[in-house]
Amino acid sequence: MSAPTAVVHTPRDVAALSATLAEANQARSPLCPRGGGTKSGWWSTAESTSILSTTSLAPLIDHSAGDLTATVGAGMPLAAVNTVLARSGQWLPLDPAAADRATIGGIIAANDSGPRRHKHGAPRDLIIGVEMVRADGTVARAGGKVVKNVAGYDLARMLCGSCGSLAVVASATFKLAPLAPVSRTVVATARNARACADLALAIAASPTAPSAVEIESPPHRLMVRFESTARSADIQADSAAAVCRAQGAQVSVVGDDEERSLWTGYERSVWGDNGGMLVKTSVLPTEVGDLLEQAGAALAAGRAALGIVYLRADAPSGAKAWLDGLRARVRHRGGSAVVVKASPALKGVIDMWGELSGSRPLMQAVKARFDPNNILNPGGGPGGL
């Protein structure tokens, strides 16, 4: 017998979203909030859980260009938001994978970011206000619409990375950044992954301001992006290139179409349908070199200068043992290792989250306060909440 098809709820405004949640809460009927579905495999969801889609919510962009802030609807794709903001020379400086489909609400729920996190931070660093609907249907607001009026914004930050397990975001207000007129990327190819990690530390210590410092191994290279005026981007790229050459790396500097192709290919190599298991590891930046040497991963990629690296294991038969060994090494370094992509079969035999630094009791208390009937993405929150 085939599994029943999950019901998909598509509220068109906040009132309908509130009513849907209130009804589900009263019936003790679980719901899984979902936007564009680009991160639906990042956490486990019960087979019987119905989907609460935000993509039909009315689009909203309230742009205060003079304040460098904007309030945007949760169901809007990031790329669509940035297309509108670009008309005023600004953007929401987040660059997660599949930005053409990833919605604002989903990006908040996963605290998702991309290479430019090096300079601009993650959603948790940029959000200053939120309108949300709690599990019982109550509409609530926290934070504000300008940076100087953010009382309660910690509540907005708490929703970042909550995997939709605490409340459903209806709209959010973010700090924006000016669009840079020019971009250059230094590509430094080194002898091995450790050498790339050492290069990342050297760049981080140099007097430059890159927007991204991204490692990829294989082919054992570091990609350092500078976005500024033409003169500033060129000067900083030349300076970073000199640092890399001094450490024995082969260096090239790319821009325009070649640069866009480079970053598109990089995103595909990390987030494409490559099979296997993808694990997000977080350690001190000084520990990245040792981690990469010992991990035995098919691919290592990520924010090397921030200590955030994604590792991929391609052999399903040995994936659990590999993950256990990886977590032991990461734990020894005071870090964490969370599985963000895995096959359904593998999800049944591994712990997607691992240890979360003793914070589980606190997360359970927060979950109990926000969602006492456990209807929002049950089992799919941080640590399996």
Question: In this structure, are 382 and 260 located in the same domain?
Answer: no
Distance (Å, rounded) from C-alpha 255 to C-alpha 225? 10
Write the DSSP assignment of 306-317 as a string of letters: GTEEEEEE--GG
Q: 150 and 66 in one domain? A: yes
In this prediction the pTM is 0.93
Shared-domain flag, residues 135 and 258: no
Q: Last residue of some domain: 231, 252, 269?
A: 269
Q: What is the pLDDT along the chain (385 residues), one digit of tens a residue?
A: 444 567 899 999 999 999 999 999 999 999 999 999 898 777 655 555 799 999 999 999 999 999 999 999 999 999 999 999 999 999 999 999 999 999 999 999 999 999 999 999 999 999 999 999 999 999 999 987 765 555 555 889 999 999 999 999 999 999 999 999 999 999 999 999 999 999 999 999 999 999 999 999 999 999 999 999 999 999 999 999 999 999 999 999 999 999 999 999 999 999 988 777 999 999 999 999 999 999 999 999 999 999 999 999 987 778 889 999 999 999 988 899 999 988 877 887 888 888 766 567 888 888 999 999 999 999 888 888 8
Alpha helices in the chain (DSSP H): 14-27, 78-85, 104-110, 117-120, 123-126, 153-159, 193-205, 230-246, 256-271, 288-295, 319-332, 344-347, 360-370
pLDDT at 343: 81
- Domain boundaries, position 196: 182-269
Cα–Cα distance measured from residue 213 to residue 266, given in angstroms and rounded to the nearest whole number: 13
Phi, psi at 9, each rounded to 5°: -95, 135
Do 33 and 144 lie in a common domain? yes
We report the CATH number of the domain holding residue 333 as 3.30.70.330
Whether 3 and 151 share a structural domain: yes
Q: Please report whether residue 172 resides in a domain.
A: yes
Whether 205 is in a domain gets the answer: yes
Q: What is the DSSP secondary structure assignment for residue 357, as one 8-state letter?
A: T
Burial class of residue 233 (count of CB atoms within 10 Å of its CB; 0-12, 13-18, 19+): buried
Distance CA 73, CA 105 (A): 8
Same domain, 255 and 280: no
DSSP 123-165: HHHHEEEEEEEETTS-EEEEE-SSTT--TTHHHHHHHTTSTTS
User: Based on the domain organization, do 10 and 34 belong to the same domain?
Assistant: yes
**Residue 312 is assigned to a structural domain of this protein:** yes
Tell me whether residue 300 is in a domain.
yes
CB atoms within 10 A of CB 158: 16
Residues 6+ positions from 345 with CB-CB distance below 8 Å: 316
Q: How many domains does the chain have?
A: 3
pLDDT of residue 1: 42
My answer on whether 165 and 27 are in the same domain is yes
Please return the burial class of 379, using the count of CB atoms within 10 Å of its CB with bins 0-12, 13-18 and 19+.
middle
Q: Which tokens in the block code for residue 105?
A: 């609400």
Query: HSE-up of 375 (CA within 13 Å, CB side)?
Result: 24
Q: Is 138 left (phi over 0), alpha (psi -120 to 50) or beta?
A: beta
DSSP summary character for residue 285: G
pLDDT of residue 354: 85
Q: Same domain, yes or no, for 17 and 105? A: yes
Domain of residue 247, CATH code: 3.30.70.100
Q: Return the CATH number at 25.
A: 3.30.465.10
Sign of CA dihedral 192, 267, 200, 206: positive
Q: Please tell me what DSSP assigns to residue 252.
A: E
Domain assignment of residue 352, yes or no = no
Which of 230, 249, 269 lies at the terminal end of a domain, its last residue? Answer: 269
Tally Cβ neighbours within 10 Å of residue 68: 16
> Does 159 lie in the same domain as 142?
yes
Q: Please tell me whether residues 84 and 8 are part of one structural domain.
A: yes
What is the spatial distance between Cα 285 and Cα 31, in angstroms, rounded to a whole number?
A: 38
Residue 45's pLDDT is what?
Answer: 58
Domain shared by 259 and 364, yes or no: no
CA atoms within 13 A on the CB side of 266: 29
For the chain, what is the radius of gyration of the CA atoms? 21
Residue where a domain stops, chosen among 217, 249, 269: 269
149 vs 152: CA distance, rounded Å: 9
With H, G, I as helix, E, B as strand and everything else as coil, classify residue 362. Answer: helix
Contact yes or no for 35/53 (Cβ under 8 A)? yes
* pLDDT value, residue 4: 53
Residue 353: inside a domain: no
